[in-house]
Structure 1
Amino acid sequence: MIHHISIAVDNPVKVAQVMAEIWKGAYFPFPPHPGSYIACADDTNGTAIEFYPAKTELVPGEVAVQFARGSSASQFTPFHAAISVPISQEQIKEIGKREGWKVLFCDRGPFDVIEFWVENKLMLELLPPAMAQKYLDFAQIDKFKQFFELEVPVAA
């Protein structure tokens, strides 16, 4: 289970506010890195996303991770996350429209997602309750192998 992730965005406080709204959770400044914010879901899993200012890099330190500022950042990234949310598809659409962010319903074959494009450049696949259950029903090793017609042995 993934408990939290971190993402660099243009407007950390705004993105944290929106994510907290979607989760029906809360957001706070993230003191380890000034200018960053963390959005927390109202769940028992510690689900959260840390939003750092664009161009923030995590680099290895002597004792722990260090924050650095890179010289450039691509507008797009291959990173994405599928996230269960407690609100409806319609509510997600309304929030996206208000923010001017692209929102798309997508049929992924064995499950559906809502592509929620944070700042129109970072994709989060949002899963309202019914979509989340369909995803969980599919997301099993044997079903992945069958769907993608894989014969790869599973590592123990």
Structure 2
Amino acid sequence: MGVVLVMYPPEVVGAIYQRGKRVKGRSWVAASCGPDATMERLGMALLHLSISARAPERVAAFLASVLGGRQLPFPPFPDSWIAFAEQDDGTAIEVYPLTHRLVDGGETIACEVGEADEGDTFVHAAIGSPMSRDAILSLADAEGWLARICNRGPFDCVEVWLEGRLLIEVLDPEMRRDYRANMTMDNWQKMFGI
């Protein structure tokens, strides 16, 4: 029996409470959906992700291709794009220029434009693709980006380095099956002896 936590913005929930008391300064609230709620019933866990790139439209086009969907402009912020997944259920990756920063705009997020940040990052994402591993490798090769098949222990992935700076682990259908079967809390604890 599991409990799923769902994050709600305060405008949806109203005042934010923790154990019946309002928590000041929080921008979210976690609410339990109950013991019978599962991610299978509720849908995906990661809804969308945002990254930055030198060429946002190009990177969004690549990501849309591996997701089996399409890229579209992202009008809330200038020169930004969004890559939607094939299933068109809201799964998406927003791609901003390296000059853009998301900041607290007081009542909601805001975009500040400054100097480009071209440095390496520890941020990475694993995404599922309907494409075969060979097709993913070919698509990355056509962009001139490093791509290779790697074993992460509990799963294999196609490691793609977008623009040579940002890691995206792309999993074809077979790799996703292994990921779902092997990337569990129990298996993680066994693998690392914790």
TM-score by length of 2: 0.74
Q: Which has the higher contact order (CA 8 A, sep 6+)?
A: 1
Does residue 78 (structure 1) correspond to residue 150 (structure 2)? The answer is: no
Q: Which residue of 2 aligns with 1:96?
A: 140
Q: Which residue pairs with 1:153 in the alignment?
A: none
Deviates more, 1:44-53 or 1:3-12: 44-53
CA distance in 1: counterparts of 2:49 and 2:168, whole angstroms: 12
139-148 or 65-74, which deviates more: 65-74
Shift of 1:83: 0.6
- Look up the match of 1:32: 76
Q: Does 1:143 align with 2:187?
A: yes
Partner of 2:61: 17
**62-71 or 51-60: bigger deviation:** 62-71
How many residues are paired up? 150
> Aligned equivalents of 1:6 and 1:57: distance in 2?
11
Give the AA of the match of 2:133.
Q
Bigger mean CA deviation after superposition, 1-10 or 41-50: 41-50
**Which ranges in structure 2 are unaligned for 5 or more consecutive residues?**
1-44
Secondary structure at 2:101's aligned position in 1?
Answer: strand
Matched with 2:37 is: none
2:64·2:84 contact (CA, 8 Å) conserved in 1?
A: yes
Amino acid at match of 1:68: E
1:42 corresponds to which residue?
Answer: 86
68-77 or 56-65: which moved more? Answer: 68-77
CA RMSD of aligned residues (A): 1.1
Q: For residue 110 of structure 1, report the CA deviation from its aligned partner.
A: 1.8
Task: Find the aligned partners of 1:23 and 1:39 in 2 and give their Cα distance.
Answer: 8
Which residue matches 2:8?
Answer: none
For normalisation by structure 1, the TM-score amounts to 0.92
Question: Identity of paired residues, percent?
Answer: 37
Larger Rg: 2
2:97 to 53, 56, 73: 53
Name stretches of at least 5 consecutive residues in structure 1 with no aligned partner: 151-156
Segments ≥4 residues shifted beyond 4 Å: none
Measured in 1, the distance between the counterparts of 2:88 and 2:190 equals: 32
Is the 2:98–2:118 Cα contact (8 Å) retained in structure 1?
Answer: no
